Amino acid sequence: MEQYTGKSIYKSVAIGPVYFYSRGEQQVKRCKAEDSQAQLERYETARDRAVEELQQLYQKALKEVGEVNAAIFEVHAMMLEDEDYNDSVKNIIFSQQVNAEYAVAVTGDNFAQMFAEMDDEYFKARAADVKDISERVVGILSNKRAGSSIGREPVIVIAKDLAPSETVQMDKSRLLGFVTELGSSNSHTAILARTMNLPALIGVPVKEEWSGKLAIVDGYQGILYIDPDEETLEKMRKKQQEDRERSRLLQQLKGRLTVTPDGRKINLYANIGSVSDVAAVLENDAEGIGLFRSEFLYLEKDTYPTEEEQFQSYKLAAEMMAGKKVIIRTLDIGADKQVEYFHLGQEENPAMGYRAIRICLEEPEVFKTQLWAIFRASAYGEIAVMYPMITSVEEVRRIKAIVEEVKEELDARNIPYKNVEQGIMIETPAAAVISDMLAKEVDFFSIGTNDLSQYTMAIDRQNPRLDAFYDPHHPALLRLIRMVIDNGHAHGCWVGICGELGADLSLTKEFLQMGIDELSVAPGMVLQVREAVRKAE
């Protein structure tokens, strides 16, 4: 038996034969080409076909893993239409008089290296994307396509790395789990694995010789077993059975109240990225939506979404939730969420730069367009709105003044709306420390523990080199959370948590002791958190 340790992406167990997936990267030959115009036309034809394929992949992913996770294929299509990328291919074809395959391969390598050498983790992740799209075009040009077939039997797919397009094209009914050597926990493939509830490990030194051997992926301990002995196999089979039984028992919590043994009711909501995620909210019996990440409406488009487009999305969510609360967070772009048409530019430290509410206050027409849509949708359900990255009372007062202008303009247009609850995200230490002052201005707080953690500890949570230093249970962070809850309650605000810690079952009891009113978690965690609340003493 061989045993390897990696970083777990999803906590579950898979047992089955290994399928070693090799991308079969094509060896591209440099060939002299006298007719450069003909080579350019070959490239443009292949590029257009690649864009069509990516659009088909987007539709397939949309059905299987939702709009947010499918968006990567729209990004890939946009990258293929990027002016700099296309100019590079054209320049190599004409200046070096070479074949289109070679020009695309060199452009892909150059752009991938450029992204990989950037300090920003978001742009580093784009290196794999540009390689993926370049290989797709080369495959079309050479008529040699790397397939994503994994055979007819259920298998554990092991690979050096997996591009999102490869993952989506695999037959999900035959996919037991993933193990890769490269990639990060924030990669698109990792997100897809979590969405599909598949155990996955990254950072494992994989070997092609494992192909066909029996393996176990232990997503709880982050261990890969190759040729496991009978004792290990029996133990993992038992763990699998326990998982299935636990899932069955959790289903019995549907329709039950999220209430502590001493009778205290907690509002248990779910986080979503788009309207398509509402189905998972309803399936998992969440009591509302505690975080609608509205920025995905902007990330998925190549220009500003209109008031009507946003209104239709918010209205649909409100109608589908049928009177249950839907809390929409206003635009939160910047940092790792870049939108090209905003022209935000490069920043030395984007996490602390021009982002979220700062953009909205500097560009009030963009902000007003979103607020018009939100308030219009409020007539169709129970909508609330919250504002991200607040650091001062003055910001909140400026927001409230803009909201009053929005209401006046809706009145002038004879459009009905409700006076919705308005809250703020507490995700900066500044907001936590002055939460007693902020509570006098708003109806509720939602603690964004992801950003609050990294700002409190001065640690970039997307940097894998800092994993050893990152402590999501740091006493300073927990003290800030308690302070926010106490200050909110003292001034009439209800307080919730919508960051990752909301689903940390080891902290559920502590949050209840602090007096938290609401927890908003990934849809798949709703029933587990409900169980933890109902058992908490």
Strands (E), 267-381: 267-272, 289-293, 325-329
By the 10 Å C-beta count (0-12 exposed, 13-18 middle, 19+ buried), 257 is classed as middle
Cβ atoms of 521 and 270 closer than 8 Å? yes
Cβ atoms of 156 and 204 closer than 8 Å? no
Active site residue 31: no
Cβ atoms of 272 and 288 closer than 8 Å? no
Cβ atoms of 331 and 312 closer than 8 Å? no
Cβ atoms of 121 and 463 closer than 8 Å? yes
**Marked catalytic residue, from 76, 188, 360, 493:** 188
Helix (H) or strand (E) holding 16: strand 13-20
HEC secondary structure over 507-524: CHHHHHHHCCCEEEECHH
Q: CA–CA separation, 481 vs 510, rounded Å?
A: 11
The token duo for 123 is 């742009």
Q: CA–CA separation, 406 vs 376, rounded Å?
A: 10
User: Is residue 465 helix, strand or coil?
Assistant: helix
All residues at 6 or more sequence positions from 173 whose CB lies less than 8 Å from its CB, including other chains: 154
* Rounded CA Rg of the chain: 25
**Marked catalytic residue, from 76, 360, 493, 498:** 498
How far is the CA of 134 from the CAs of 131, 288, 411, in angstroms?
Answer: 5, 42, 52
Active site residue 474: no
C-alpha angle 247-252-253 in degrees, rounded to nearest 5: 100
Nearest to 495 by CA among 509, 506, 482: 482
The token duo for 328 is 């929409």
Q: CA–CA separation, 372 vs 407, rounded Å?
A: 8
HEC secondary structure over 160-229: CCCCHHHHHHCCHHHEEEEEECCCCCCCHHHHHHHHCCCCEEECCCCCHHHCCCEEEEECCCCEEEECCC
Instruction: Show which residues are catalytic.
Output: 188, 498
